[in-house]
Chain A
Amino acid sequence: MPPRPSNPNCRQQTRRGFLSTCARLGASRLLRRSPLALACAPPKATTARSGFGGQFVDIAAAAGLTLPTIYGGTDRKQYILEADGCGCAFLDYDNDGWMDIFLLTGTRLDGNPEGNSNRLYRNNRDGTFTDVTLQAGLQLAGWANAVCVGDYNNDGFEDIFCTYFGQNRLFRNNGDGTFTDATQAAGLAAPLGRPVWSSGCSFVDYDRDGHLDLFVSQYIDFDLATAPRPENDVNCRWKGVPVNCGPRGLAPAFPAQHVLYRNNGDGTFRDVTREAKIGGKPRAYGMTVVAADFDEDGWQDIYIACDSTPSMLFMNNRDGTFREEALDRGVALSDDGAEQSGMGVAVGDVRLTGHLDIFKTNFADDSSVLYHNDGRAQFTDITRPSRIGTETRFVSWGTGIADLDNDGNPDILVVTGSVYPEVEAKLPAYPNKSPRIIFRNLGDGRFEQVSNQAGPGIATPHSSRGCAFGDFDNDGDVDVLIVNMNEPPSLLRNDLKTSHHWIKVKLIGTRSNRSGIGARVLVHYGGKVQAQTLASQSSFFSANDPRLHFGIGPAAVADIEIFWPSGTVEKLRAVAADQLVTVREGGGIASRNPFPAPRNQGSGKP
């Protein structure tokens, strides 16, 4: 969210002598307040250097994804609660080798519309999906935010954790197509009282005991009974238009800033926030959480995109505690030292250095940021030289660093949408619905925007939030699932026009957690190296296909190095392209699946 208007408690002016500023010295100060906080809706002409191979078509309706994501008002949002939206996931809940879809939903202030619920769609392996929400026991509606996916009980089936304004939910996968709400049993029930607003979440084995722990970020301390409304608070304005207030002016979440739950290994969790030294850093509006080993020391670190406050990077001390070092490491602020409205996070290796870079999406009139990692978790802001910084028109949310055209250079996709639908009537430069953005990686450190060359699925405007990347049709490219506010989702099928090669890597942990979450995988191809990590959440509040997809360009083979979260390092030589390899920790390649995959592939067993 943006640095938004304040509430009445924060009205006290601090700029001293404001009357004389303008009156006596003239208008210059009205504009010259800050160096160049200038970025403001520049329409961009796309001048692509060469054809982009990825072509995206929205096939959601044909695939059976026709139910809308309900989230607050459609034309007007009274409260920030209605504005942030929610995420989605690609996951293979039935282990049949095909990505299924889980979509969160919100509700409305005046009550939940009949039939509105989170949705689980089973992949029919023919480009369509079947709604199995009810059978699966996942019917639930509320102010949902994030989803993260991981096998917390190491039984071979992916479980689902969802955050809410209200009670978060842990859904244990029973392995028979159904889920059980295990929130209470797992010790994750919130104390009674006013609802807590949890935002991002991530499964992470921070102590390397082979069990997935759980990190939950918190947003604001919000109470519908007292929250300011646009019409009765002059400070709830954006560019002069009355809008929903926050997060600025609203207190950060309570009771703790962010929460770390340790997995006891018996199906329960214990709050270790304090002893892990997570809770000491006050005042941050947490959003998307990504856990990864950024300094390559074999231990998981945690990055949180924060809204209107400095983003946070908790570095793992390898003793069960963390230290927050985002500022020192260059990933807290913009290159001018300003807080940004961090929403989504993508982690990948844009310069092919073998290290995990961070891409963070922000609000309109600001650009997303790209931080390059030197391998020791010292980051350099490369937003400007990479040419990412010229795009500032829209509020940006879900994102991924993914090789959309399999040329061996990972690209960046961003979905966008306003939090103030009422603004466009007065300010057409800030539309409610806006197109998706693709930055094509040119392979020389620079990107070019190719949004108008990537098919109608990219160009068509929506007010989008979360998105997940995955290959739902098992054809060897990256497709995209997108949550749209008060609309059905988009399912962007990538009809790739290139003949580049690729490799997918699926991980099965043995000493590590069963999902392999936290593993860092290096793929060497054609003289290049690319790093990826398996995260249980990224983008915006969403979870990607856990099969890591590497475009490898013209290369026919690749070497693969896997740095398992347990510390095990595994190397696989000369792996042939265009196949999914499933690697069992310590045992090498367990299976090879050339794509396109046959429809009867997959056992349904762990």
Chain B
Amino acid sequence: MKTLRHVNWAISFLCAAAVAAQTSHPASTRGSCLAGQSLPEAARELKLGHIAKARVIADGLHRCTGLTPRQRFDLGLIYGRLHDFPNALALFRSVDDDVPNLQAHAYAIALGQFELADYSGAIETLQHLRTQTPLDNDSTNLLAASDSKAGRYQDAYALLVEQVHKNPVEPLGYLNLITLLTDVGQLEQAEKLSARAVEVFPGNVQMLLVHGAASTAVGRLEEARNDFAAAVKASPQLADPRFFLAVTDYKMGHYDTAAHELRAAIAAGIVDADLEYLLAECLLKIDPGDSVDALKELDRALKSGSPAVQAHVLRGKLRLEQGDARDALPDLEKAHRLAPDLRSATYNLARAYAALGRKAEARLLFEQIDRQSVDMVNELNELRIKQIMQ
């Protein structure tokens, strides 16, 4: 959801901020009520990741009484990006349906509802919109997502099929439909559709990766490898194709080949901590008894500056395995801080705490894992999805 939330609110906000920047609002020209300045300023802070600052600006504007309907709508978008969906929804609903226009207004409300897990509300909003005007791509996507979340897979499927038919040269429809099929376990169909997408969009790296992923999901690793190799050839500078090619070789047990590919990618100047992390995993497969070289790769991964939660976990785990819980701790604590829901980080941090006699902290983390373990429905879905996506 973070993806959808981020992408959608970001897209919407970029439009809104641009509009706001171009608009002058004489009614709000004092202090924090300078909406013409404050809205773009909040956007900048958000872009820089200064959430608290953006929040202060937004709250300042929220207290203003003279905001125009459009400014209220734009402020709603800011709250959306701040993940304050109740405030966002309230602001959207406080203005007329045609602010800024029917489509954008309904979309914003539906997105807020979606974020608050009110999927039936989102569906209702968008279906009502559809009675007034044809849905654009964003609204269609959101309606399909809401349908799926509400368990209305057939409706989602029908929408996306229609979207692909209407606009057969638009990759988005294919990608969404493939994802839907994957999520409902129709892996063979997903694989077939992705194969068709590769034909429709020849040389499209994204399609090659998706087909490779779908082939992997149905256990056809050779085909997946071919796709990833083609993607590497098409875009040798990209990290993703390199990673997937190597990961496929890893899955096939070709650890030496995978290590060779990863070393080539790193030598080509591609900076991605996952490559070094995967290389470390390969080295541990090639010689499980020797972790020295793997640790060197992990050190490099962690110096590269790109996000490397897995590398932190693995380095911590290896140190833990060597009986050095104290040395393992910084990596595992950092990994847990970066990804609190990542089980391997939680579990190994708990093990490290336990080894250091910090029983209470270990217990807390174990309980966290334990709670996750018994949440059968959520866990089931997560695991199934992971299984499909592997």
Contacts and interface: CB of A to CB of B under 8 A. Distances in A.
Interface stretch (A14-22, A53-61, A463-471, A502-510): A14-22
Interface string A237-257: 101110000001100000000
Contacts of B206: 26-27
B321 A385 contact: yes
A314 to B, nearest CB: 15
Interface in B120-165: 141, 144-145, 148-149, 151, 153, 156, 160
Given A21-B179, A240-B217, A336-B343, A31 B4 contact: no
Contacts of A19: 4, 141, 144-145, 148, 156, 160, 176, 179-180
B76 interface: no
B184 A336 contact: no
A389 interface: yes
Interface string B349-379: 0010010000000110010011001101110
B85 interface: no
B179 A18 contact: yes
Report the contact-size class of chain B (Cβ under 8 Å from the partner).
Answer: 35 or more
B247 A31 contact: yes
Please classify the interface of chain B as helix (H, G, I), strand (E, B), loop, or mixed, using the class held by over half of its residues.
helix
Interface in B269-325: 274, 278, 281, 284-285, 288-289, 310, 313-314, 317, 321
A224 interface: no
B250 interface: yes
B382 interface: yes
Contacts of B178: 22
A304 to B, nearest CB: 14
Of B141, B253, B382, most buried by chain A (CB within 10 Å of CB) is B253
B251 interface: yes
A384 B280 CA distance: 13
B251 A26 contact: no
A157 to B, nearest CB: 42
A134 interface: no
Please classify the interface of chain A as helix (H, G, I), strand (E, B), loop, or mixed, using the class held by over half of its residues.
loop
B310 A35 contact: yes
Interface string A7-36: 000111111111111111111111111111
A574 interface: no
Interface stretch (A37-45, A479-487, A564-572, A597-605): A37-45
A234 interface: yes
A337 B341 CA distance: 12
Contacts of A429: 219, 221
A101 interface: no
Given A3-B383, A10-B377, A34-B386, A328 B281 contact: no
A567 B319 CA distance: 38
A302 B187 CA distance: 40
List of 4 A-B pairs having minimum Cβ-Cβ separation, nearest first? A42-B253, A17-B4, A16-B1, A337-B347
Given A19-B176, A31-B247, A337-B348, 7 more contacts: A17-B3, A23-B172, A33-B389, A38-B247, A330-B351, A336-B347, A429-B219
5 contacts: A14-B382, A15-B183, A18-B148, A30-B213, A339-B373
